[in-house]
Structure 1
Amino acid sequence: MITTDNKESRINVTVFGEFTLADYKEFEEVANYKVQFEGPVSLLFDLREMNGFTVDMALEEIRFARAHAHDFARIAILTDDQWVTWSAWLSKFFVDADVRVFEDTDDAEAWLGGIETPVA
């Protein structure tokens, strides 16, 4: 299950439990709309409550990232999971957005707002 919160030029996504293809499609709808009407947007993915993901969701994420390589400004990922951190690093090859991983919400929010924070 996911929740999305739309802000100006930004989308906040929180994932609870298993991240499924249906969840990702919900995110895609919001992202496509925002990009179409606002241009490049920033993302905050809170994955601290995620306990896994489906293979079809992972494949869709790669497809979507390749199709929207220039549509995102900054992507902040909240997690303390090393596997998720590694996959976030890998996603940098598919998008030209600045992607960073954070453990603290305030640091992620500040960075998305333009305040530089040390890279973890």
Structure 2
Amino acid sequence: MSITRHGLFIGIERVGGDFFLSLKAVGKLTHEDYEKINPMIDSALEGVTDPKVKVFIDGSELEGWELRAAWDDFRLGLKHGSEFDRIAIFGNKKWQSYAAKMGSWFIAGEVKYFEDANAAIGWLQT
């Protein structure tokens, strides 16, 4: 029996004295995933009064998005883009570096792609 996992895992991570919103994307994201994800992200960011949120995204197991889910992701970026100071995207696929560049057009802070998770965390700490 084959199990297909997909979705987005959300957490708060602490490295040293710094806190990050930590996201791990797995599989091919669907519109239904975003119907569950968006309220969780809204809730996680609701109490933030200082719009200097740093985000670590682990896309190493991300296969992509269904078309409608890609639109949902775009809308999520527009809604919360001004709240992010830095977004580090850790991945292992060339298209992810292009997605990071496109995402930076809609985010007030910096977005950078990394192929090394430790380098991504280090950049967030600067």
% identity of equivalent residues: 24
For 2:12, which of 6, 9, 13 is the aligned residue?
A: 6
Q: 1:48 to 1:13 in 2, by over 3 A?
A: same
In the alignment, residue 74 of structure 1 is paired with which amino acid?
R
Q: TM-score, normalised by structure 1?
A: 0.82
For 1:99, which of 94, 106, 111 is the aligned residue?
A: 111
Q: TM-score, normalised by structure 2?
A: 0.79
1:62-97 deviation digits (Å, cap 9, x = unpaired): 112122221111101011211121111011111111
- For the pair 1:82 / 2:88, whether they are aligned, the reply is no
Runs of 4+ with >6 A deviation: none
Runs (5+) with no aligned partner, structure 1: 115-120
Q: CA RMSD in A?
A: 1.8
Deviation at 1:100, TM superposition (A): 0.5
In the alignment, residue 120 of structure 2 is paired with which amino acid?
A
The corresponding residue for 1:117 is none
In the alignment, residue 45 of structure 1 is paired with which amino acid?
I
Q: 1:31 to 1:109 in 2, by over 3 A?
A: same
Deviation at 1:33, TM superposition (A): 2.1
Runs (5+) with no aligned partner, structure 2: 1-6
Deviation at 1:28, TM superposition (A): 2.5
Deviation at 1:59, TM superposition (A): 0.4
Deviation at 1:55, TM superposition (A): 0.9
- For the pair 1:55 / 2:95, whether they are aligned, the reply is no
The corresponding residue for 1:22 is 32
For 1:33, which of 43, 56, 59 is the aligned residue?
A: 43
Deviation at 1:61, TM superposition (A): 1.4
Q: 1:45 to 1:23 in 2, by over 3 A?
A: farther
Q: 1:21 to 1:11 in 2, by over 3 A?
A: farther
